[in-house]
């Protein structure tokens, strides 16, 4: 059964993340101060994922089946995103060489953090678990790496006693509260990866515990972010997805239109995976164009990228299904 509210909410979160990344590259626009907090939409993503996986994991016979199924869905898309970004860098590099354009060091190929070691780590889907001191290449994909890591922790922990899940949740909450500045995402902060990992764990287990709680425990979980926000952390953001999850459980919001679910989910994935590359292309095109046109160009590039990704991803998905799924 597909619930339009919860998947529509995920699409809205993706658009907030796109706006957040766009405003870093195009600072000539006047953005409201709240845009600086849009990165917290990723935390809401993790809460939703923890909740949905709690509902769906019982469909799998073994833990291994669950992990493989999730990996085969996310990793090919992750790799396509890296190839997309890498192809943009190579094309830009060749254009600079052919046209003999003078550029800064940051615009040359394979310069830190977009260098070979980071590329290897990205391809191995290890870019979101603390092995790098900076985000690189297709930088939004760190959350895919973190999610896969969480699937492994989660799938084994829930087969143990419930206390294990609660312990993991409380430990990650303590870490976030002890180091509230870890919630501040800046590309110059060496602790960013440490932050991403524990933000992922905390959000994921918020969603998991919420899915398996009675009304009293849900009230406690909703109140917890409000209380802990006094520690100068951004934990209050968790209230939004928790309330959205609670509302989504009303039967009147459900629909059997699985085709709509599939399309909405895929568009959501494509926007998230491609938007960093689309921003980069727009930045290259609009260097001598006024910023009002950059939004139009970005939207056009995004639509084209989503269409191409859909065509390529369907072929990759069919190949993976034939080769690895029985």
Write the pLDDT tens digit of every residue in 240-272. Answer: 888 888 777 765 445 555 566 667 777 888 888
CA–CA separation, 230 and 134 (whole Å): 29
Q: What domain range is 221 assigned to?
A: 2-324
> Above 80 in pLDDT, residue 176?
no
pLDDT at position 230 is: 67
pLDDT at position 192 is: 47
The model's confidence at residue 201, banded by pLDDT at 50, 70 and 90, is confident
3-state secondary structure the chain: CEEHHHHHHHHHHHHHHHHHHHHHHCCCCCCCHHHHHHHHHHHHHHHHHHHHHHHHHHHCCCHHHHHHHHHHHHHHHHHHHHHHHHHHHHHHHHHHHHHCCCCCHHHCCCCCCCCHHHHHHHHCCCCCCCCCCCCCCCHHHHHHHHHHHHHHHHHHHCCCCHHHHHHHHHHHHHHHHHCHHHHCCCCCCCCHHHHHHHHHHHHHHHHHHHHCCCHHHHHHHHHHHHHHHHHCCCHHHHHHHHHHHHHHCCHHHEECCHHHHHHHHHHHHHHHHHHHHHHHHHHHHHHHCCHHHHHHHHHHHHHHHHHHHHHHHHHHHHHHHHHHCC
Mean pLDDT over 81-108 rounds to 73
Mean pLDDT over 139-147 rounds to 85
Sign of torsion over alpha carbons 142, 146, 149, 155: negative
User: To the nearest whole number, what is the mean pLDDT of the chain?
Assistant: 76
pLDDT at position 159 is: 65
CA–CA separation, 6 and 155 (whole Å): 22
216 or 289: which leads in pLDDT:
216
> Above 70 in pLDDT, residue 125?
yes
pLDDT at position 233 is: 63
The model's confidence at residue 188, banded by pLDDT at 50, 70 and 90, is very low
CA–CA separation, 205 and 47 (whole Å): 7
pLDDT at position 187 is: 40
CA–CA separation, 54 and 56 (whole Å): 6
Please give the tally of structural domains in the chain: 1
232 Rama sector, left if φ>0, alpha if ψ -120 to 50, beta otherwise = left
Mean pLDDT over 127-144 rounds to 78
CA–CA separation, 95 and 285 (whole Å): 12
pLDDT at position 190 is: 44
Mean pLDDT over 4-30 rounds to 82
pLDDT at position 207 is: 85
Distances (CA, A) of 95 to 41, 87, 91, 111, 230: 36, 12, 6, 17, 51
pLDDT at position 227 is: 78
> Above 70 in pLDDT, residue 231?
no
| Residue 20, both tokens | 């957040």
The model's confidence at residue 239, banded by pLDDT at 50, 70 and 90, is confident
> Above 70 in pLDDT, residue 52?
yes
| Residue 305, both tokens | 């990228």
């Amino acid at each position: 059964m597909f619930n339009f509210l919860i998947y529509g909410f995920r699409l809205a979160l993706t658009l907030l993340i796109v706006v957040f990344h766009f405003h870093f590259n195009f600072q000539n626009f006047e953005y409201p101060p709240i845009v600086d907090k849009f990165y917290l939409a990723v935390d809401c993503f993790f809460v939703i994922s923890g909740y949905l996986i709690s509902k769906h994991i019982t469909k799998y016979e073994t833990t291994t089946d669950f992990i493989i199924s999730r990996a085969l869905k996310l990793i090919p898309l992750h790799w396509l995103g890296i190839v997309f970004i890498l192809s943009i860098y190579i094309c830009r590099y060749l254009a600079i060489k052919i046209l003999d354009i003078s550029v800064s060091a940051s615009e040359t190929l394979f310069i830190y953090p977009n260098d070979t070691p980071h590329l290897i780590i990205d391809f191995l889907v290890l870019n979101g678990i603390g092995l790098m001191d900076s985000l690189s290449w297709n930088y939004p994909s760190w959350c895919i790496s973190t999610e896969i890591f969480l699937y492994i922790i989660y799938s084994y922990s829930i087969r143990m006693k419930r206390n294990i899940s609660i312990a993991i949740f409380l430990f990650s909450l303590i870490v976030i509260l002890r180091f509230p500045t870890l919630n501040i995402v800046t590309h110059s902060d060496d602790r960013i990866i440490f932050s991403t990992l524990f933000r992922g764990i905390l959000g994921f287990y918020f969603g998991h515990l919420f899915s398996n709680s009675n009304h009293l425990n849900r009230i406690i979980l909703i109140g917890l972010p409000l209380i802990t926000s006094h520690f100068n952390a951004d934990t209050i953001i968790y209230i939004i997805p928790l309330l959205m999850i609670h509302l989504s459980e009303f039967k009147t919001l459900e629909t059997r239109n699985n085709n709509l679910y599939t399309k909405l989910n895929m568009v959501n994935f494509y926007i998230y995976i491609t938007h960093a590359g689309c921003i980069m292309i727009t930045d290259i095109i609009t260097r001598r164009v006024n910023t009002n046109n950059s939004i139009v160009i970005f939207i056009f590039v995004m639509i084209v990228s989503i269409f191409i990704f859909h065509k390529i991803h369907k072929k990759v998905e069919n190949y993976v299904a034939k080769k690895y799924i029985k």
